[in-house]
Amino acid sequence: MDKFVIEGPAKLQGQAYISGSKNASLPMMAAAILTDEEVILSNVPKLKDIDTMCKLLIKLNCKCKRLDNDDIFINCSGINSDFAPYELVKTMRASILVFGPLLARLKSAHVSLPGGCAIGVRPVNLHIAAMKNLGADVEIEEGYIVAKAERLEGATIYFDTPTVTGTENVLMAAALTKGKTIIKNAAKEPEVVDLAKMLKVMGAKIKGEGESTIEVEGVSKLRGVSYRVMSDRIEAGTFMCASLITGSTIELIDAPLYAMDAIVDKFIEVGGSIRKIDDSRIEIKGKKIEPVVIKTAVYPGFPTDMQAQFMAVLTLANGTSVIEETIFENRFMHVAELIRLGANILISGNKAVIEGVSHLDGATVMATDLRASASLVIAGLAAHGRTEVLRIYHLDRGYEALEKKLSSLGANIKRVKQ
């Protein structure tokens, strides 16, 4: 198990390249199941989750391999298995994204139920209800979703709560399902929009992506595609937090600002500034850390995936901040670890009250989930002395070469094998 060793405090300068989006790449890889032609995705980040999705596709008898650099090649012409085993699904919840495509392509799916995880229970009841609505018979047997769909037909699907991967599963299934499917209270996240754009290039008929009602007119066949994945707004936001907490000016290449309004607003409210250099480059400057109120919400609200990183920054604010987490019931696992670094944080229900302190001191801390890990790295950059972040395999699920990118900005951070 690797750990990070950080010697702080750091001052950063230079350029960081923002990789392709994990949460856009994963559904697009699953969408390759929908066609028997080649799919080439570019700008796919080198991450553990991407490797897991590739392994899962190979298990289904698709071909999946990384080409040069950031391209992934997938060909599902030989797909002949509908089985997504627990061994893979337990390591990555996003495996549930093969559910919709398998049903549409093979008329059956046998997909392990993802377990709970550190941030919450994360049920998939809405995915299952949606597939039933499209006409599938779905049972839960021995921890698996077992679904058959002799005759799928377009339907109106209403989500009680907008679910990102649920919306993506329905989009993919409906693209190959006879008739019109209307998704109401759909997720509007940019990654959903990017998936819809890819599906349209494949020949899908979709209207309304990015709005709360999406209409899909099913087609009988989808083509292969070559598609460039959007850049990762959460990675870009994480670098914004690194610049705030270290009071540094850095340049970001390929940050998808068009999808980052809520993050940029908070960055500026806390005390950052942004200057556009050209179409692909921005300069971000962390000047001071003012206390703020943050409430996570579905897009275009403030993303839950940025909550932990902003909390790390606010531990050093000039006053008291409040963060309310409304998406996941247990996404404050980083708090106890930030307290080990000297932070003053109280939790009451789904609210955290963060009293800014004058400084943080290095300590050994434990990463518990992906974004919690990132928040500990950010805090470690500002903490005085040595911070060890254990269990960074969580971080490797979703950040490409974070330690290399931070080192090249001047941080003293090393990956150490234990």
The DSSP output letter for 223 is -
Angle between helices 190-201 and 22-31 (to 10 degrees): 30
> Is residue 165 involved in binding ligand UD1 (CB under 6 A)?
yes
371 binds, among ligand PEP, ligand UD1, none (CB under 5 to 8 A by kind): ligand PEP
> Is residue 256 involved in binding ligand UD1 (CB under 6 A)?
no
127 binds, among ligand UD1, ligand PEP, none (CB under 5 to 8 A by kind): ligand UD1
Q: How many CA atoms lie within 13 A of 213 on its CB side?
A: 6
Which residues have CB under 8 Å from 122's CB, separation 6+?
Answer: 93, 114, 116, 328
Q: How far is the CB of 398 from ligand PEP (least distance, A)?
A: 5
Which residues have CB under 8 Å from 219's CB, separation 6+?
Answer: 175, 176, 203, 204, 205
Paired tokens of 204: 């899908």
Q: How far is the CB of 127 from ligand UD1 (least distance, A)?
A: 5
Q: How far is the CB of 93 from ligand PEP (least distance, A)?
A: 5
Paired tokens of 304: 């839950």
Which parts of 153-283 fold into alpha helices (H)? 164-175, 190-201, 233-246, 261-270
373 binds, among ligand UD1, ligand PEP, none (CB under 5 to 8 A by kind): none
Nearest by Cα to 167 from 155, 152, 153, 184? 184
Cα separation, 276 vs 251, in Å, equals 10
Q: Which 177-196 positions form the footprint of ligand UD1 (CB under 6 A)?
A: 187, 191
Give yes or no for a contact between 205 and 219, defined as CB atoms under 8 angstroms apart. Answer: yes
163 binds, among ligand UD1, ligand PEP, none (CB under 5 to 8 A by kind): ligand UD1
> Is residue 120 involved in binding ligand UD1 (CB under 6 A)?
yes
Site string for ligand UD1, 85-104 (x = CB under 6 A): ---------x----------
Which parts of 60-163 fold into alpha helices (H)? 86-89, 99-106, 125-133
* 196 versus 341: smaller Cβ distance to ligand UD1: 196
Q: Which residues are catalytic?
A: 117
Number of residues binding to ligand UD1, judged by CB under 6 A: 21
Measured CA angle at 104 (ends 102, 109), to 5 deg? 35
Q: Are β-strands 213-217 and 205-207 bridged in parallel, bridged antiparallel, or unpaired? A: antiparallel
Give the residues lining the site for ligand PEP (CB under 6 A).
23, 93-94, 305, 370-371, 398
* 25 versus 246: smaller Cβ distance to ligand PEP: 25
Q: How far is the CB of 260 from ligand PEP (least distance, A)?
A: 15
| From 163-171, 273-281, 350-358, 403-411, span contacting ligand UD1 (CB under 6 A) | 163-171
> Is residue 369 involved in binding ligand UD1 (CB under 6 A)?
no
Q: How far is the CB of 290 from ligand UD1 (least distance, A)?
A: 26
Task: List binding-site positions for phosphoenolpyruvate.
Answer: 22-23
Q: Are β-strands 72-75 and 38-42 bridged in parallel, bridged antiparallel, or unpaired? A: antiparallel
Give yes or no for a contact between 306 and 371, defined as CB atoms under 8 angstroms apart. Answer: yes
248 binds, among ligand PEP, ligand UD1, none (CB under 5 to 8 A by kind): none
* 26 versus 376: smaller Cβ distance to ligand UD1: 26
Paired tokens of 75: 């060909």
Choice from 8, 9, 166, 190 touching ligand UD1 (CB under 6 A): 166
| From 57-65, 118-126, 274-282, 339-347, span contacting ligand UD1 (CB under 6 A) | 118-126
Cα separation, 275 vs 175, in Å, equals 40
| From 8-16, 124-132, 257-265, 377-385, span contacting ligand UD1 (CB under 6 A) | 124-132
Cα separation, 234 vs 237, in Å, equals 5
Peptide bond into 9 cis (omega under 30): yes
Nearest by Cα to 177 from 133, 138, 227? 133
Q: How far is the CB of 232 from ligand PEP (least distance, A)?
A: 9
> Is residue 287 involved in binding ligand UD1 (CB under 6 A)?
no
> Is residue 127 involved in binding ligand UD1 (CB under 6 A)?
yes
Residue recorded with tokens 């799919």: 39
Q: Are β-strands 249-253 and 213-217 bridged in parallel, bridged antiparallel, or unpaired? A: unpaired
Choice from 46, 55, 122, 415 touching ligand UD1 (CB under 6 A): 122
Residues found near ligand UD1 in the complex (CB under 6 A): 23, 26, 94, 120, 122-127, 161, 163-166, 187, 191, 304-305, 327-328
